[in-house]
Amino acid sequence: MMAHMLNHWTLIFLLFNSFFTLAVELGNLSGSSLNTLFSATIDHNIDDEYKSTDIVNSYILAESVPVKDNIPYGSMLGYRFKPNMSAEFTHSYQIIIYLSASLCQLPVNWNTSISNNGLTLYYTFNETIANNTDFKNMEKVDFQGGYASAIAETEIISTDSDYMLYLMIQPQQCNNCTAEDIWVYEFAASQRKVMFLYDTEPRISVLDVDYEAAIFQTGDIPFGQNSSYSLYLFKDEYPIPIGLNQSWCAISENQQYDKKISVNESLVSSLKNAFVVSDLDIAKTYTGVLVITNDIIPYGGGIFEPFVFTMSKTRSCKLAYGLEFCDEVAYAVPISESYLYGKESWSEFVSSYDNYSESLYQPFEYALQQVACDTELDARYSPIRTCNDCKYSYKQWLCAVTIPRCVSSLNSGVFNLNYTAEQGRNEYIAEHIKPPLPYSEILPCLNVCQAIVRDCPADFGFGCPKTPELVQLSYGDQELLKGNSDADDTDDDESNAIAELVRETLSDGSIQTYRLCNYLGVSNIYTSSSSAEATSSAST
């Protein structure tokens, strides 16, 4: 018999497959049968008369039906699960049972700042081992961060044999615990599905923030008819404790969230898998966690790894997104005097940037029309690049240099360019936007410039700065990190990629994380990870 911790890809497949399969099964039930099933599972606390420390005669778990139970310190609770031996449920040579649990509540005096929950699940197919409570010869999994999962396996010796999986839950040794300390959990066993999921990937990232809103981008979320997603946002006054940050039960039942956003296809479709959350508080730190819930059955679900972000500390920057021309812009830009003081709407504010960029694009487009783009291959300016490649790269470069990415001066790093009020990288910003507050600019990435040299005809004469001294005047690049003592270099592949975050050690010993440069264009980036002023790994 072997036990395996479930990796997150296996869990995701099993969970979504589970919801679909169970939905089909429920659809085949009559109304009375369905009501009976729901009434049995909605109130799935085990009555005290069925609780037993005699594991051989303990409560029998039903297939894919979680139980909600509680256990005081110094006691042990036993359960049994009888596998279905039909070909639909078993392989030709082994029985596989998926075990998963979600911890809803820790003892009142338990230290929630540690991941260990002080609770262990033991299991075995051997009746003698179970009857003797021989823990040393049982498989086990500890609850960590409010979650536990494993796969119980045994070989099929004979289809006529009477197999039973015996399970025991017991608190671990604790010097300061008493019988008043109680753990509350939900627990399930299934041959078909994983009822509780914890995925080590957030599946949602923060593209950028301003002082009152944040823009999020979703990863590969398989929206389905039988499951729904919700994003919970918790303020730093009500953080998710480390001891329960992997628990679907604890988070879905938590009522101290600041925002709960239903994440669906219609929400993310208009902004290319992104969406905006408004009415957030200036300078506040938030913890976000994506939760998946089954819409067909009233139990079971999963959560994705929580992430942290901090709102801007000043009103100097405002998010711009959904632009018609610079349609890949989705970040904070220097706020205008007119918008800050209520003299123009947000749409007018962001359109002024977009219209200016588009007006500068027209001369380039006219020049490109003189190039033989659609002629035979031998006569083209490049055997591997096209005029469409050139148009795309030039547009991204133009948008990046005319619509600067803005960050509060209180959150800027050594490679960000600082401006005082009413200053900007070009005359349009200084004369028309008229930023009323000091701000810092996250310079465009050097490879956004290099893309137009690579993709456009050499006759255009495009060129990019070569030396670090010239680069840092207009662009950001990883080469600038070399030999700079103020920035912490790292060997991590993601952190070394263009446009990734830079960690800087401040004079007080704290770590500030900031973005090295701003990229635009899918073809011009090395990774797809994104972060705002703070991430799950570091915060400003």
- 432-474 tens-digit pLDDT: 999 999 999 999 999 999 999 999 999 899 999 988 888 888 9
Whether 262 has a pLDDT exceeding 70, the answer reads yes
Look at residues 307, 323, 315, 325 and name the one whose alpha carbon lies nearest to residue 217: 307
Query: What's the per-residue H, E or C state across 195-219?
Result: CEEEECCCCEEEEEECCCCEEEEEC
Residue 217 Cα distances to 78, 301, 531, angstroms? 44, 22, 10
Ranges assigned E (strand) in 83-138 = 94-105, 116-124
Task: Out of 30-39, 79-88, 369-378, 509-518, pick the least confident.
Answer: 30-39
Domain identity same for 61 and 103: yes
Secondary structure element (H or E) that encloses residue 366, with its range: helix 346-368
Based on the structure, what is the number of domains in the chain?
3
CA gap 476, 520 in Å, rounded: 13
Whether 491 has a pLDDT exceeding 60, the answer reads no
Q: Say which CATH number the domain at 178 has.
A: 2.60.120.380
Domain identity same for 185 and 332: no
What is the rounded radius of gyration, in angstroms, for the C-alpha atoms of the chain?
Answer: 29
Domain identity same for 358 and 425: yes
Domain identity same for 507 and 362: yes
- Any idea which residue has 């920035």 for tokens? 487
Q: Say which CATH number the domain at 214 has.
A: 2.60.40.10
| Cβ atoms of 272 and 329 closer than 8 Å | no
CA gap 312, 230 in Å, rounded: 24
Domain identity same for 371 and 272: no
Domain identity same for 334 and 407: yes
403 lies in a domain? Answer: yes
Domain identity same for 219 and 339: no
Backbone φ, ψ for residue 451 (5° rounding) = -65, -35
Domain identity same for 67 and 158: yes
Look at residues 481, 472, 319 and name the one whose alpha carbon lies nearest to residue 407: 319
Residue 300, amino acid: G
| Cβ atoms of 487 and 503 closer than 8 Å | yes
Structure tokens at 181: 């300390």
Looking at every residue in the chain, the average pLDDT score rounds to 81
> What is residue 380's predicted lDDT score, i.e. its pLDDT?
80
| Cβ atoms of 224 and 537 closer than 8 Å | no
CA gap 186, 300 in Å, rounded: 9
523 Cβ partners below 8 Å, 6+ apart? 389, 392, 393, 451
421 Cβ partners below 8 Å, 6+ apart? 435, 436, 437, 438
Whether 217 has a pLDDT exceeding 60, the answer reads yes
Q: How many CA atoms lie within 13 A of 105 on its CB side?
A: 14
Higher-pLDDT residue of 345, 273: 345
| Cβ atoms of 395 and 323 closer than 8 Å | no
Domain identity same for 436 and 364: yes
- pLDDT band at residue 508, thresholds of 50, 70 and 90? low
Higher-pLDDT residue of 13, 441: 441
Look at residues 258, 212, 262, 260 and name the one whose alpha carbon lies nearest to residue 238: 258
533 lies in a domain? Answer: no
Domain identity same for 55 and 164: yes
Structure tokens at 61: 């778990």
> Whats the size of the chain, residue-wise?
540
Domain identity same for 346 and 302: no
Identify the domain containing residue 476 by its residue range.
317-483+499-515
- Any idea which residue has 């096209």 for tokens? 386
- Any idea which residue has 């929630």 for tokens? 112
Look at residues 319, 341, 321 and name the one whose alpha carbon lies nearest to residue 533: 319
216 lies in a domain? Answer: yes
| Cβ atoms of 106 and 172 closer than 8 Å | no
CA gap 453, 308 in Å, rounded: 38
Residue 230 Cα distances to 64, 114, 268, 301, angstroms? 23, 26, 13, 11
| Cβ atoms of 513 and 393 closer than 8 Å | no
535 lies in a domain? Answer: no
CA gap 93, 531 in Å, rounded: 47
CA gap 137, 1 in Å, rounded: 11
305 Cβ partners below 8 Å, 6+ apart? 198, 199, 200, 201, 202, 289, 536
Query: What's the per-residue H, E or C state across 168-185?
Result: EEEECCCCCCCCCCEEEE
235 lies in a domain? Answer: yes
359-416 confidence digits (pLDDT tens): 999 999 999 988 888 777 777 888 788 999 999 999 999 999 999 999 998 877 788 8
- What's this model's pTM, rounded to 2 decimal places? 0.81
- pLDDT band at residue 45, thresholds of 50, 70 and 90? low
> With b meaning 16 or more CB within 10 Å and e meaning fewer, what string describes 89-103?
ebeeeebbbbbbbbb
* End position of a domain, from candidates 258, 293, 310: 310
Quick one: DSSP state of residue 511?
E
Domain identity same for 391 and 431: yes
Backbone φ, ψ for residue 212 (5° rounding) = -140, -5
Quick one: DSSP state of residue 246?
T
> What is residue 479's predicted lDDT score, i.e. its pLDDT?
72
20 lies in a domain? Answer: no
| Cβ atoms of 128 and 273 closer than 8 Å | no
* End position of a domain, from candidates 149, 164, 194: 194
User: Which span out of 136-150, 174-188, 223-237, 504-518 was modeled with the highest average pLDDT?
Assistant: 136-150
> What is residue 514's predicted lDDT score, i.e. its pLDDT?
62
Task: Out of 130-134, 248-252, 459-463, 496-500, pick the least confident.
Answer: 496-500
66 Cβ partners below 8 Å, 6+ apart? 41, 44, 186, 187, 188, 195, 196, 299, 300
365 lies in a domain? Answer: yes
* End position of a domain, from candidates 194, 214, 234: 194
Look at residues 374, 396, 400 and name the one whose alpha carbon lies nearest to residue 387: 374
- Any idea which residue has 């079971």 for tokens? 300
> What is residue 298's predicted lDDT score, i.e. its pLDDT?
62
Quick one: DSSP state of residue 116?
E
420 lies in a domain? Answer: yes
